[in-house]
Amino acid sequence: MPTLNLPTPEGLTPFTTGAPREFPRATPPFPRLALAAAHVVADPLAEQDPWLDAKPDWDATIAYRRYLWSLGLGVAEAMDTAQRGMGLGWTAAQELIRRSLDAAQDMPGAVIASGAGTDHLAPGPEVTVDDVIRAYEEQCEAVERMGGRIILMASRALARAARGPADYERVYGRILSGVRQPVIIHWLGEMFDPALDGYWGHADHYAAMETALAVIAAHAAKVDGVKISLLDKEKEIAMRRRLPRGVRMYTGDDFNYAELIAGDAEGHSDALLGIFDPIAPAVGGALAALSRDDLSTFHDILAPTVPLSRHIFRAPTRFYKTGVVFMAWLNGHQEHFVMVGGQQSARSLQHFAALFRLADAAGLLRDPDLAAARMRRLLAVHGVA
């Protein structure tokens, strides 16, 4: 196994990789629905201003979705992990959704749902709740016109324009009344996007939950499920236990997903997670074990991925996409470590070194020699011989 010097707070320290883990393979249906919010591969050779433009490498981007489907995971398309609204605008998102829906046709059993929001509407004092409704309707209609299922994303414009819970009830009621198929509602917390602070009309999450639950109860036939990304398992469990019958809870908790998916005597969470992008082989193996009612193996596989996930999603949490793409590069899913919006610069060298060690501990460096060679290249760029 390769050895390399990795930076730590104490200085450079030799580190020898272990062997990659062989995860069980199985095919769906699994006892839990599992969707990976997939990242976008940037085109490093495109002429662009990296902080302003989004020029994806479409072939590599779609190839990664095929990889996720091959492991039995569904794809949550054009979400936060794809840098939606944080580098990837609505025009590029539409192209991404169209290409992914086309690719899914060639993959038997492929599951895909796509984000619809209001990110083409810039928040501002002149933006009204009616403007937000029209923006949501435009994106929902576009996704459904392409034949896609909708993940109804949180809206920065709504967070700015709303004057209280009633405005959220009005907007979501209007949109849910108009969609053709049940949607997944995404409640993205302010730790992922500070512009969403006070969503649902309350700064307190439990008070906000009351508004969200009222919306869901009033339109349960149009809600497949809700994904909450608050990084707080107690809040997720509290909401899960109050959902109407038939409405799923999709965990968005990248800190506590293993126990939330396993569940308790009163229920469990399905999953729609950004961390499933870099740990997809482990997720497939864990779900295969769960299919056999083998909870011991399920937890044995996922337990070492949790420290990795907590590191990738550490504050500032919105920079987690950098760790996701770094993992894809280490594992040979893309030939470069370049991101939409230049976000490869959002984390420190020590962060990457710790991520490398944690990925190795989870058995997720599928080719240690390749991963070590690429880590050495990153070290060299930072002046570490």
- The type of residue at 140 is C
Task: Kindly report whether the peptide bond that precedes residue 56 is cis, defined as omega within 30 degrees of 0.
Answer: no
Query: Does 385 score more than 80 pLDDT?
Result: no
Q: CA 8 to CA 57: how far, in whole Å?
A: 34
Over the stretch 154-205, which tens digit does the pLDDT of each residue have?
999 999 999 999 999 999 999 999 999 999 999 999 999 999 999 999 999 9
Quote the pLDDT of residue 62. 98
User: Over 80: is that where the pLDDT of 144 sits?
Assistant: yes
- Whether residue 94 contacts residue 142, with contact meaning beta carbons closer than 8 Å, is answered with yes
Residues in CB range of 163: below 8 A, 6 or more apart: none
Task: Report the half-sphere exposure of 344 (CA within 13 A, side-chain side).
Answer: 19
Give the distance, in angstroms, between the CA of residue 290 and the centroid of all CA atoms in the same chain.
22
Mean pLDDT, residues 259-281: 97
Strands 11-16, 3-8: pairing is antiparallel
Element (H, E) at 13: strand 11-16
**Residue 216 clears pLDDT 90, i.e. is over it:** yes
**Which residues lie below 8 Å from residue 385, measured CB to CB, with a gap of 6+?**
379
- What does the mean pLDDT of the chain come to? 96
Provide the phi-psi class of 183: left if phi over 0, else alpha when psi is between -120 and 50, else beta: beta
- pTM, rounded to two decimals: 0.96
In 3D, which of 66, 74, 80 has the Cα closest to residue 343? Answer: 80
Q: Which two tokens stand for residue 277?
A: 């992008």
Can you tell me the distance from the alpha carbon of 38 to that of 278, in angstroms, rounded to the nearest whole number? 9
Give the Å distances, CA to CA, from 323 to 131, 160, 316, 320: 35, 30, 12, 5
Q: Grade residue 51 by pLDDT with cuts at 50, 70 and 90.
A: confident
Whether the pLDDT of residue 337 is over 90: the answer is yes
Contact in structure between 126 and 161 (CB atoms under 8 Å): no
pLDDT at 329: 98
User: Which residue's entry shows tokens 């730790």?
Assistant: 191
Please report, rounded to a whole number, the percentage of residues in the chain having pLDDT higher than 70: 100
Domain 32-297 belongs to what topology? TIM Barrel (3.20.20)
> Distance of CA 377 to CAs 6, 140, 323, 332, 337, Å?
12, 43, 16, 14, 10
Residue with tokens 């930076």: 7
Q: Each residue of 224-240: pLDDT tens digit?
A: 999 999 999 999 999 99
**Strands in 180-290 per DSSP E:** 183-188, 223-229, 248-251, 270-273
pLDDT band at 262 (very low <50, low <70, confident <90, very high): very high
Q: Three-state SS across 73-106? A: CEEEECCHHHCECCCECHHHHHHHHHHHHHHHCC
> What residue type is 346 in one-letter code?
A
What is the pLDDT, as a whole number, of residue 150?
98
Residue 37 structure tokens: 């919010």
